[in-house]
Structure 1
Amino acid sequence: MLDIRKRHTLARERLLAEAIKELAAELRLVDVIDFVAFVRLEHFGNIADIVHSSSELYFKPGVLRFADSAEVDLAWNSKPIVALALQFRHGGVEAHFRLELASASAAVDITYMSFDVVDGDPEANTQAFAAAIKDSRILDEDD
């Protein structure tokens, strides 16, 4: 059985992963070799520009930003994985997370989270995060 902290972290990671699935798909349109070059040459401004322009399609301004750290796992016997450190900030919630992009999948790993108003109930904090995510989105006509 998962401990309570891990259970709430997993629930929050699922919320975030669902919210950024279109962003992950958009980022996968960038050639992986470009990400490799930007990471290798430490051209993090280029990655920040890509994240900014991709996120503005789905999120209000300033909600998501590149957190100046990235890695590429590139080996001869496997498909590349690009990992980007990102930051979500909206509605009194801040989450630092790692977005791992592979050819057909993505994963989210929250590394830090804070709330302007902390509730003693972790479930209430998770609901506050869900509300912040929902409010941060640019709604489509179908939403």
Structure 2
Amino acid sequence: MNRQPHTSTREVIVANAIGEVVRELRMVDVGDYIAYIRLERLASIADLVDSAAELYFQPGTLRLGHGGEAHVAWEGPPRIVLDLELRPTGVTVYFALTLTARKASVEVNYVAFDKPAADPAENDGFLERALEHSRIRRSEPVAT
């Protein structure tokens, strides 16, 4: 697939938006991911993604896409790749989240805007605003 010049910008936008969710997903033991993927228990992975996302996004904003991959070999650490979809109002982002022992990364595969602008920078701004609007707002507890 040929990467478009604005894909890198969108990967940064997505990575920043889901950072807290990624921290939640990393709390799951890597062995569980490997087992769920190898045994094709994708509903279990979808539940993990939904549970992590519900803390930070409106329902349905972030969900498991078509599955995942577990890369496990004797000569290296495991690598989990989850196919995810972000669906804030007005845009859908299809991307892969890769989790390793030390880092996580996002690779955007496709972005579909309901009403795309001719300028990619306008679309980037729309994506950023749409993700911000889909976040759950928490009010700070009042000190007594």
Q: Report if TM-score (shorter chain) is over 0.5.
A: yes
Q: Partner of 1:135 in structure 2?
A: 133
Q: 1:40 is aligned with what amino acid?
A: R
Q: Partner of 1:125 in structure 2?
A: 123
Secondary structure of 2:48's counterpart equals helix
Identity of aligned residues (%): 41
* CA apart distance, 1:79: 1.2
- Maintained 8 Å contact 1:48/1:68: no
* CA apart distance, 1:5: 2.8
Secondary structure of 1:20's counterpart equals helix
Gaps of 5+ in 1: none
Q: Partner of 2:72 in structure 1?
A: 74
Q: Partner of 1:18 in structure 2?
A: 16
Normalising by structure 2, what TM-score?
Answer: 0.91
Q: Partner of 1:5 in structure 2?
A: 4
Superposed, 1:30-69 pairs within 5 Å as 30-69=28-67
Give the paired residue count.
138
Q: 2:4 is aligned with what amino acid?
A: R
Once residues 27 and 66 of structure 2 are traced to their aligned partners in structure 1, the CA distance between those partners, rounded to angstroms, is 20
* CA apart distance, 1:141: 4.1
Once residues 107 and 96 of structure 2 are traced to their aligned partners in structure 1, the CA distance between those partners, rounded to angstroms, is 5
Gaps of 5+ in 2: none
Q: 2:134 is aligned with what amino acid?
A: S
- Maintained 8 Å contact 1:28/1:103: no
Once residues 101 and 35 of structure 1 are traced to their aligned partners in structure 2, the CA distance between those partners, rounded to angstroms, is 10
Q: 2:101 is aligned with what amino acid?
A: S
Normalising by structure 1, what TM-score?
Answer: 0.92
The alignment yields a C-alpha RMSD, in angstroms, of: 1.4
Deviating runs (4+, > 6 A) in structure 1? none
* CA apart distance, 1:62: 0.7
